[in-house]
Structure 1
Amino acid sequence: MSESKRAHPTDLELAALISSKICHDVIGPVGAIYNGLEILNEDDDAEAQSYALSVIRNVTEQASARLQFARFAFGAAGSAGAQIDLGTAEQISRGFIGQGKHKLVWIGFPGYMVKDKVKLLLNLIAVAVTALPRGGEIEVRLEGTAEAPSFALRCKGTGARAPQHLGEFIAGDGAPPLDALTIQAYYTWRLAQASGMSLSIIKDGADVVLSAAG
């Protein structure tokens, strides 16, 4: 379906879809916290207690990082026209990526950037994770200036592929229905439009590179 014919969701529908996305991302860690608490209540074995505390500690950190990321990537994160510290953006991105099978490399400059462009960058990082289903390195490179930036995210890893759904939204053809799993790519595409930046996805050898430029 071409962009001109695409029926964008209403504000209420978009809010509902993003809420579903956030719930989808945090329900796993929250459920693991509950399971850990049940072990603490029901099993007096010292080893089991230690294991449960370790699980609770790890997944609580994970849930907190995901919520912090969602606050900036999807939320208002300040009044209209606010700017966001790029150091904060890097910090919450590292928390979101965590210490699992993905590694984040950040190459940029310090300063503050208009909110929507930072939100676009954060959403591109989240989308880039889907380009590396087996894990790997996401190299985030910021170029230009804070007023006129460009972003390049190089995804390096075994089986690197185009991120899920984003290419279809960019092309305007064959885009999937919107749901909690596709809203990330759709919202990234809409943020790029709002920021006056064009998105591209290219295969560079074994790597996949996501770019946004004004």
Structure 2
Amino acid sequence: MTDASVTPDISALDLAALLCSRVCHDVISPVGAIVNGLEVLEDEDAADMRDVALDLIAKSARQASARLQFTRLAFGAAGSAGATIDLGDAEAVVRGMMEDSRVAIDWTLPRELQPKNRVKLLLNLCLLAGTTIPRGGRIAVGPAPGGAGMGFVLSMSGASARIPAAVPALVSGTQPEGGLDAHAVQPFYAGLLARESGIKVAFAQDGDTVVISALAA
């Protein structure tokens, strides 16, 4: 990302620091659970408690790995300038990070290489998609009319689906009055990626369905 893509209201250093805070927030919970499980193993002799601890450690380790793989692509450099990322790799990290008993993923994008910032944008939009269905539901990720080269469309359906009030403004580049924090930086960063990639992001809602369109400008 060049300095020109960062608004005058936030320095590149502050943006990097906030993104690092966001990544730490995503991984600290499963890592903490691993530590708790290890403490149980050290203190407990009961076989049933040891089994519970081992299950917690295994589950948390998988979760931490999935989150790290996702954030590496969504926020990391992911190769040199001009690099491309396979949409199939994007699907794998999205499923690992987000798909569970509450959230189903329907992925119909083709397996093809796309510019890395476009794929990073897609991953960040998937994170935003998750916030629109707080009680769980289905996230459908597909190509824009005309194909994936023209952009992406994400459709989310579920009980109490809604567009988080602050998100559209953050994606458009508007900062909160108190400035960005580790929570607000992710949708703001998605907007930076969209503008860098020549993509226009729009939000719409119809009943219990929310649509995020990311179309070539």
TM-score over 0.5 (shorter chain): yes
Aligned-pair Cα RMSD in Å: 1.6
* Consecutive unaligned residues in structure 1, runs of 5 or more: 1-5
* Aligned equivalents of 1:38, 1:173: Cα separation in 2: 44
In structure 1, what residue type is equivalent to 2:28?
I
**1:212 pairs with one of 202, 209, 214:** 214
What's the counterpart of residue 3 of structure 2?
none
What's the counterpart of residue 156 of structure 1?
157
Give the drift of 1:105: 1.0
Does the aligned pair in 1 maintain the 2:156–2:209 contact within 8 Å?
Answer: yes
**2:180 pairs with one of 178, 181, 190:** 178
SS of the residue corresponding to residue 8 of structure 1 reads coil
What's the counterpart of residue 3 of structure 1?
none
SS of the residue corresponding to residue 159 of structure 1 reads coil
Give the drift of 1:75: 0.4
Show structure 1 runs of 4+ deviating over 6 A.
none
SS of the residue corresponding to residue 28 of structure 2 reads helix
Does the aligned pair in 2 maintain the 1:167–1:201 contact within 8 Å?
Answer: yes
Does the aligned pair in 2 maintain the 1:131–1:164 contact within 8 Å?
Answer: no
Give the 5 Å matches for 1:127-138: 127-138=128-139
Give the drift of 1:84: 0.5
Give the drift of 1:116: 0.3
* Consecutive unaligned residues in structure 2, runs of 5 or more: 1-6
* Aligned equivalents of 2:15, 2:72: Cα separation in 1: 16
Give the drift of 1:109: 1.2
Give the drift of 1:100: 3.8
Does the aligned pair in 2 maintain the 1:165–1:185 contact within 8 Å?
Answer: no
May I ask how many residue pairs the two structures share in their alignment? 208
Give the drift of 1:174: 7.2
Give the drift of 1:196: 0.3
What's the counterpart of residue 190 of structure 1?
192
Higher mean alpha-carbon deviation, 101-110 vs 16-25, is at 101-110
In structure 1, what residue type is equivalent to 2:150?
P
User: What TM-score, normalized by structure 1, do the two folds share?
Assistant: 0.92
What's the counterpart of residue 126 of structure 1?
127
* Aligned equivalents of 1:64, 1:165: Cα separation in 2: 30
Q: How big is each residue's C-alpha offset from its partner over 1:158-182, in whole Å with a ceiling of 9 and x where there is no partner?
A: 0000046321224566745311111
What's the counterpart of residue 44 of structure 2?
43
* Aligned equivalents of 1:181, 1:74: Cα separation in 2: 14
CA gap of 1:74–1:172, structure 2 versus 1, over 3 A, is closer
User: What TM-score, normalized by structure 2, do the two folds share?
Assistant: 0.91
Give the drift of 1:149: 2.7
SS of the residue corresponding to residue 108 of structure 1 reads coil
